[in-house]
Amino acid sequence: DGGITQSPKYLFRKEGQNVTLSCEQNLNHDAMYWYRQDPGQGLRLIYYSQIVNDFQKGDIAEGYSVSREKKESFPLTVTSAQKNPTAFYLCASLGIGSTEAFFGQGTRLTVV
């Protein structure tokens, strides 16, 4: 089945450590996105990528980094520079010419 997979579902890290969240899709979508969602809040765009080896900052990119070496994969690294990293992170993908974004199940990151 085609879809978008985020792993792991829950992630715990100590403060000061970098952590990488995985996002993989087999939908052959060109565009991929990372969003952050805080409790009771909306989705805020961190980074997005339209094609391999290219990505753009979203509205809250500080403290995060991404790479897009393969079409299927768009990992997000939460660095120690991110002041409040504890949040729910959603990955999405979108096909060129399509208007429906598909979302992963999300990763709940807790930094202690």
| Residues 39-78, mask of contacts with other proteins (x by CB under 8 A) | -xxxxxx--x-x-----x-xx-------------------
Smallest gap, in angstroms, from Cβ of residue 16 to other proteins? 28
The yes or no reply on residue 101 touching other proteins (CB under 8 A) is: yes
Query: For residue 68, which of 89, 91, 45, 86 has the smallest C-alpha distance?
Result: 91
Restricting to residues 11-40, name those near other proteins by CB under 8 A.
31, 33, 35, 40
Identity of the residue, 27 or 45, whose beta carbon is nearer to other proteins in the bound complex: 45
68 close to 74: Cβ distance less than 8 angstroms: yes
Integer angstrom CA distances of residue 35 from 53, 56, 98: 19, 13, 19
3-state secondary structure of 23: strand
Q: How many residues does the chain have?
A: 112
- In the complex, the residues that contact other proteins under the rule CB under 8 A are 31, 33, 35, 40-45, 48, 50, 56, 58-59, 88, 90, 92, 94, 99-101, 103, 105-106
